[in-house]
Chain A
Amino acid sequence: MEGVFALKNVRLYYKKTGRMKFVSHLDMNRYMARLIKLTRLPVWYTEGFNQHIYLNFALPLSLGFESEYEIMDIRLLEDVPFNEIVEKAHAHAARGIEFFAAEEPQKKFGKIASADYVIKYLADENTAERFEEFLKLPEIMVQKKTKKGGFKEVDIAKMINSSTVSKNGGTITATFNLAAGGSENLNPALITEAFNNLENANIETVSVIRTCLYDDCGEVFK
C-alpha cells in the first residue's frame, strides 16, 4: 500500500518595504511564485488543468503601502526545518522583501480581525488639531465601494478601534488599529479622504506602514 504523506503547512512572515510598495497584490502573487521556485523548496502545486504553486496570502496590501507584518502560507511535500525555509526565502528575496520567520500556522486567515497602521501626514498645526478632533467623532459616514461596483453608506468611526496622533512641526504621525479581514476591513486611505472631504482640508499622506495583524481575541495573529 502506498504511504500517505501529510503536507506540511508553512506560514511565512515577511516585510514589504521601499520600492516593493509599488508591487500590487496581484503582482506579489506572481513574484512570490517565482521566488519560491528559486528557493527550490519542495512545494506543493495545485491540482487541475493550470497547475501552479500553492500560495495563500493573509490580507492584501494596497499599492503604495509598506508593511512589517505580511503573511503567506505555502505547503511543502517534505519536512524542511523552519529556519532553513526562512534562510532560503531570504537569500533570494529582492531588496525590500525581508523574510523573518516561518512557523506552523495557528489560526485560519478568517480569524484576522484588526490591523495596526502607522501613517505619516503633511499638515500644519491647525489642520493637525482638527484631525485629532475628527478622529474622536462617534460617527463618520462615507461612501464605500461595494464588491458589485455600487456604493453604500458606511460608518467608518466604529471600524477605528483606536487612534493616537502626535504632531511634529509640519507632520503628523498617527497610529491606528483598524478593523481588518474578510468581514470588515477599513483601508486607512478612507479616513484621510473622509477628513479632507468633510472638513474641507488637504492633508497629504506621506507614508503608510501596516505594522501588525491581530485575531478576533485581540492577540497578534499567527
Chain B
Amino acid sequence: MDNAKLEKLLLTVQKPGRYSGGEQGSVIKDKTKVDVRFAFCFPDTYEIGMSHLGMKILYSQFNSYDYIWCERVFAPWIDFEEVMIENDIPLFALESRDAVSQFDIIGFTLQYEMSYTNVLNMLKLGGIPIRSADRKELKNLVVAGGPCVCNAEPLAEFVDLFFLGEGEEVDIEVINLYREYKQKGLSKEEFLKAAAKIEGVYVPSLYDVEYNENGTVKSIEPKGDAPKTIRKRIMADLDNTFYPSNFVVPYIEIVHDRAMQEIFRGCIRGCRFCQAGFIYRPVREKSPDTINAQAKCLCDSTGYGELSLSSLSTSDYTRLDEMFTKMFEWSERDNISIAVPSLRVDNFSDELLEKIKKIKKSGLTFAPEAGTQRLRDVINKNVTEEEIMNTCLTAFNGGYTSVKLYFMLGLPTETDEDLVGITELGQRIVDLYYNNPNRQKGKGVNISISVSSFVPKPFTPFEFEPQITKAEIERKQKVLQDSVTTKKIQLSWHDANTSFLEGVLARGDRRLSRVLETALEKGCRFDSWNECFDLSKWLEAFEENGIDPAFYANRTRSYDEIMPWSHLDYAVKREFLIEENKRAHAETTTPNCREKCSGCGAACYGRGVCFEKR
C-alpha cells in the first residue's frame, strides 16, 4: 500500500477515520511470522461494524493464537469506494493496509439479509471472484458465520464454507485445518471435503438442490461423504469460553461506543416471531463472577466510561442482584455507568429501576410488540396490559418522562383492530402519566412508538407464514398514523420496501444467487441505508432472472414443505415449530422454559436451562 497516496486521498472523503486504522487495541503482527492471515470482513460501514460484539470477540480470540493474524475490513462508504476505484486501490485491511486478496481466509459475519450485496461488493472491490466455483485456489477461502447462516442459501454460490452456531471453537478448528492443508500444498477441494466433517461446518458446494414443478424444494442431497444434516455448534460452558480482555477502541464516533459485556445466550421466552430466541438455544448463563471479572477487565483496559450488558432479555438473567452488587463495588468508584437494554415488561421492578438509575439515567425501552392481548397471545409475547401499565408507572415514578415502545405490524392473524390497539395502548399510557399524582410537575410525557414490519424468519413457528404485501404494509401504516390523536405520541416505522426485500432474502433459496449478482451489477449495495437502497433495481434484477419475489415473501408454506434450510439443524425441532404455529392460530400461549419445558429439542446439547432445577 502506498501510504502517502492513501493518506492524501483519505483527506478527500467523509470521516477518514473509518479507513485509517491505528486505533488503540488494534493488533499488529509480523506477517512473515504467521501461518494464516484472516481478513474479518463486516459488510457495513466502520461505525456499524465496530459496534458489533461478535466481531470483537472473534478478532481478539483469533489474534490470541501466535500463528494467526486477524485484521479488520469494513465496507467503504460510497465516496471512498469511488476514490478507490479511480485510484486502483483494492479493498484493504485496516491493520496492515494489505489488499484483501493477500489473505488466506476472508470471513464475513452475516448479521442481516440487507448486507448481502455488501458482501459481494467487498469481494468485488477486493478483486476476488465472487463465485466460489471461480476461485480455484485454497487461498482466498471465503467463509461466513452469524445468525443469517441459519439460511444463507442465497449466498450458497458465493461462500465456500459456513459456520453454524457459535464460532469460538469451530472457527479455530477450521483455521487449524486450513493451516495443515496449506502447509501440505493440498487442494481447495480436498480441504473442503475434510472441513465438511467438522461439526458445525456447512460446505454448500457439497449439496445438490432440486426443485419441484411448483418451485418448492424437492430435495437437498449431499455429495460423497458430506453429512446429510449439519448441526450447529454451541459453547457448552460460557464461564470457560474465550472473552476478550481488550477491545479495539475507535477514534471516530460509532453507533455503540462502549464496553459490552455478554451475560447469557439464548432466550427462555419463545416469542414466536423471534429467530434469535430460537437459534441461540439452549439458554446458557455466565456466572456473576465471570461477568464481573470480564467487565472490569474490559473497562480497565479500554478506558470506556460506559458498560452495556448484552443479552436477548436481560431481566431474565437469574442472578441480577448478585451481579449488580459485585459490579457496583468498582463501577461507582471508577465512574462507569451501566446500561441495561433488552428489559422485559413483566419483570421490571422498582428495585431494578433503582439499580440501573444509579449512575446515569438513560432512556427506557420496552417491546410489547402487539397492541391487543389477543395478538400478544398469538405471538406468545406473554405480557399483559396490566404488566405494561405497571412497568410504565414504575418508570414514571422513578422520574422517567419518556418511554420508547417497540411494536410490529403484519403479524399473523392481525386485524385493523389489533393495529389501532397500539395507539390506544399508547394513549392509555399517556393518560396514566397525567393521572399519576407523583409525576414531575410541569414536565410533559413523551411516548415514542416504533413499528416495524414483521418478516417471517426460518427456525421460528412463523416460518410457514406469508409476509403481508407492500401495499398492505403501507395501508396499515396509514391506519396507524390516522389513529394517533395526541402530540405526546411519536410514531415511527421501517420503510416497507426494505422489509419486503428482507422478506424475500430471509427465506430465499439458491436460485436467488443470480438475482444477487444482477443486483450487484446494477450497483446495489448498502441496502439497509436509505441513501442507497433502490427497490426498482432489485425488481429489475428479479425480473431479468425470471424470479417472482412474492414466491419467497408472500407465500404460505405447508407443514410438510421442504424448506431451503432443511439440511441445517439448529436443535429446535420441526415438529415443535409446527405445534407452536398451530397454537398461535388457536391464540394459545406457551409457557417459558423456566416455567415448563415444551420440548423444543434444544435439550439435545445436554446443557443450560433445560437442565436447571425448576
Contacts and interface: CB of A to CB of B under 8 A. Distances in A.
Contacts of A95: 22
Contacts of A63: 11, 16
Given A19-B22, A94-B23, A94-B24, A38 B252 contact: no
Contact of A206 (B8, B17, B249, B334): B8
Contacts of A45: 335
Interface range for B? 20 to 34
Interface string A123-145: 00000000000000000000000
Of residues B11, B253, B301, which shows the largest number of chain A Cβ atoms within 10 Å of its Cβ?
A: B11
B303 A38 contact: yes
A57 interface: no
A72 interface: no
A69 B301 CA distance: 28
Interface in A87-103: 92, 94-96
Contact of B17 (A27, A37, A92): A27
Contact of B305 (A20, A37, A94): A37
B493 interface: no
A7 interface: no
A18 B8 CA distance: 12
Interface in A11-26: 18-20, 22-24, 26
Contacts of B10: 22
B17 A22 contact: yes
B305 A64 contact: no
A96 B22 CA distance: 9
A30 B253 contact: yes
Interface in B20-51: 20-24
A34 B17 contact: no
Nearest to B11: A64
Contact of A51 (B17, B20, B335): B335
Contacts of B305: 33-34, 37, 52
Nearest to B337: A51
A211 B252 CA distance: 25
B302 interface: yes
A22 B11 CA distance: 8
B11 A23 contact: no
A37 B11 contact: no
A58 B360 CA distance: 29
Contacts of B303: 33-38, 92
B335 A22 contact: no
Given A18-B22, A94-B22, A206-B8, A23 B251 contact: yes
A24 to B, nearest CB: 7
Interface string B301-323: 11111000000000000000000
A26 B158 CA distance: 41
B496 to A, nearest CB: 36
Given A19-B20, A22-B7, A96-B22, 10 more contacts: A18-B22, A24-B17, A24-B252, A27-B252, A30-B253, A31-B251, A33-B303, A34-B303, A34-B305, A64-B11
Interface of B: 7-8, 10-11, 16-17, 20-24, 249, 251-253, 257, 301-305, 334-335, 360
Interface of A: 18-20, 22-24, 26-27, 30-31, 33-38, 45, 50-52, 63-64, 92, 94-96, 206
